[in-house]
Structure 1
């Protein structure tokens, strides 16, 4: 086991250590020597045992202060870590709120589009129904007018036939009114067919 000579407070000591521990022992001895030299400068020369005791106490006090500062630093680190955790929780909550807001906006937009589509379809259906009603009314009016014209034509034909009989005219004298009557009948049938198709289209 190697022997290492160290100097503490101006006094030399030989200390045994494990192989390879010499640098660590020299570093520790240097710390003790610094404390012992400072103590001797204030108090003066003192017995070896007292010097070593006082030096050890001073180092212990310094280490205790270092431990306190270390604990304080650890507490600050823990507080900072807790603050980071709270900040992360707030960030997560903000992200969740933002995502919820986006979903609500998308849902509102979809509802608005759907409502607009339904309103447009309702207006189209109403317009189609109104147009069909107007067409049906127009066709009905046309049919009524054609029927009235047909009635007038029948009365005119009957009157012509009566007068032709009175004055002895031939039968072909009323052929033209007969053709006009047939034309009116065809128009009435066509109007009725158009009305039926309009009702079927509804």
Structure 2
């Protein structure tokens, strides 16, 4: 199993990961370290453990907010999908109604044309 070295709050940590996940783990550690550094800038030196716990809680808070937004978007997608299906059904019904009326109109026009053919004198040359 490959190992990578990451740095959090100025300390190096050796971590194992699955093959091919080295860059991802390093990137995640860098993002977490950014949170630690931001908190350190905001609250000052409060001790490594406390600072790391606060950064962890901040990251979990962001994750919880992202999960809430994802759930809201999934609900919105479901509502929009249902609305789209309803609109599609309405369009199909309107198309069927239009086709039926067009067919009725064509029959009426054919009937009028037949009547005119039957009653109109044929011109003789």
Q: TM-score, normalised by structure 2?
A: 0.80
Q: Aligned to 2:39, what secondary structure does the other structure show?
A: helix
1:14 deviates by 2.0
Which residue of structure 2 aligns with residue 75 of structure 1? 75
Which residue of structure 1 aligns with residue 48 of structure 2? 48
1:32 deviates by 0.6
1:114 deviates by 4.7
Which residue of structure 2 aligns with residue 8 of structure 1? 8
Higher relative helix content: 1
Cα RMSD, aligned residues only: 2.1
Q: TM-score, normalised by structure 1?
A: 0.53
Q: Aligned to 1:97, what secondary structure does the other structure show?
A: helix
Cα distance in 1 for partners of 2:113, 2:41 equals: 91
Cα distance in 2 for partners of 1:108, 1:2 equals: 81
Q: Aligned to 1:20, what secondary structure does the other structure show?
A: coil
Aligned length: 120
Instruction: String of CA shifts for 1:66-93, please: whole Å, max 9, x gaps.
Output: 1111122222222222222122112111
Which residue of structure 1 aligns with residue 59 of structure 2? 59
Runs (4+) off by over 6 Å: none
Unaligned runs of 5+ in 2: 121-125
